[in-house]
Amino acid sequence: MKTRITMGSFLMLSLLGSGSVGAAGYPWKDHAPPYDFLFGNGIDSHQQTRLQKDGSLFGYFYINFTGDVTTDGYPVATHANCNTAPDCTVGWILRGEPGSATFLYHVMPEHPVWLVDRADIPQPGAYAHFHWVGEGMPMPDETWDGYFLELQAVDTFCFVHHKRTSTGTTCLENGGIVVMPGIDIATHGNIVSSSPFGASEGM
């Protein structure tokens, strides 16, 4: 019995380990098949996903390590255009479910904020981000098709969105978020289920 438990534990750890190594090691190939799905906008510079038979997405979300390390010991990473940045690596495994949302507003450097009916958020899961499909930037009160995204981090780092950090301070002081392996709803969360704006009247 002891041998079976030990072997089972070993196999489980091996599977988990190989999954992490495989994800972290998948290279940027500029959307070469099978990871050839395109949103048609800026996110495509740092995502590679494939469209599954059931209409969902599976793939990878990339980061670029800046070379900086925070005073609390975290290597700093941000998004980059992986067609020009030579060292993009996988920061997250990405899963997506199709849906639609109403655009509310965008305050830089944060993500655009979208209004959704709570019942439309995919379950089970941790789908905290909505990203639209199509060119251009949505306007307030427009409803767009897109995907609800769930992110699963594969590494530990300080994620700073849309800006390069300076050395000599903590991750938090640099406006960053500490990311650790596992489900991540903090770095890219951008959906709400109610709003004081006009769009909420129809929800």
Higher pLDDT, 15 or 162: 162
Pair 189, 129: CB distance under 8 Å: yes
pTM for the complete prediction? Answer: 0.83
CA 9 to CA 4: how far, in whole Å? 8
- Assigned token pair, 46: 């740092």
Spatial CA neighbour of 56 closest among 149, 120, 123? 149
Tell me how many domains the chain contains. Answer: 1
**Among the listed ranges 3-17, 100-114, 168-182, which one has the minimum average pLDDT value?**
3-17
Per-residue DSSP letter, 136:
S
Per-residue pLDDT band for 197 (boundaries 50, 70, 90) equals: low
Is pLDDT above 80 for 124?
yes
Structural domain boundaries, residue 194: 2-202
In a 13 Å sphere around the CA of 95, the CA atoms on its Cβ side amount to 15
